[in-house]
Structure 1
């Protein structure tokens, strides 16, 4: 019974899809582009924002990155938060590695941990159902 319950839990988790362990962004897919830091900021300032420069559709845009500690002209991979074609000024961007999504290790690690939990629970239930063994210390 414990094995069947564990298998049903795993199938239910797999059926729920990416939203179980790593939800996709509410706004949908965000565009990932390469950028360079044009105005680095020291990390001593609160709410530091660095300025980055990136190319999109053959046009160069400026972006505001909430972060600090990068070097001048350091290459970064960013995710566009706002649409640069709808504004003339700098747009909000985020580091691509910190954007929520399903292209990271959260889903496989979560499913692996769930599998280990099911196996451990099944083993414990088996040991409880078997009872104590005679002759073992």
Structure 2
């Protein structure tokens, strides 16, 4: 009985691993273009909601954008992600190596939690199937 529960848990974890990062959420690629940029006005990291200003080339045109980051000096070079349908004026951009609202720990943490829940469910099934135990009374 315990072997069946363990096998079912392994099948569930393997299936989750096989489906890949899409199971735990993934940033949609193709909605942004990665371009090099130059920081024109840095921001101190002691400021709340620090934003820096960057200058970059987009479709042969020099553009400016606001970057939600801090700690860069003027004229520092950074790689940024620019939304594909960016309009005119200041564009909200982000550092290219980051993703909004997600982290690279999603998959290992998600798989770890899934494995723990499988183990907990298997142990519960084992205890229910085993039933209550009789206590030995010593006389």
Unmatched tracts of structure 1, length 5 or more: 130-137
Structure 2 SS opposite 1:93: strand
Q: What's the offset of the Cα at 1:18? A: 2.3
1:98 and 2:98 matched: yes
Number of residues of Structure 1 aligned to a counterpart in Structure 2:
124
Contact 2:9 2:119 in 1 (8 A): no
Which position in structure 2 is the counterpart of 1:71? 73
Unmatched tracts of structure 2, length 5 or more: 131-139
Q: TM-score, normalised by structure 1?
A: 0.64
Which position in structure 1 is the counterpart of 2:22? 19
CA displacement, residues 5-26 of structure 1 (integer Å, 9 cap, x when unaligned): 123212431354423334324x
Which position in structure 1 is the counterpart of 2:112? 113
- Provide closer, same or farther for how the CA distance between residues 57 and 103 of structure 1 changes in structure 2, counting only shifts above 3 A: farther
Q: TM-score, normalised by structure 2?
A: 0.63
- Provide closer, same or farther for how the CA distance between residues 51 and 6 of structure 1 changes in structure 2, counting only shifts above 3 A: same
Structure 2 SS opposite 1:20: helix
- Provide closer, same or farther for how the CA distance between residues 114 and 95 of structure 1 changes in structure 2, counting only shifts above 3 A: same
Q: What's the offset of the Cα at 1:63? A: 0.8
Mapped to 2, the partners of 1:24 and 1:33 lie a distance apart of: 18
Contact 1:10 1:114 in 2 (8 A): no
Give the alignment's Cα RMSD to 1 decimal.
3.6
Which position in structure 2 is the counterpart of 1:45? 47
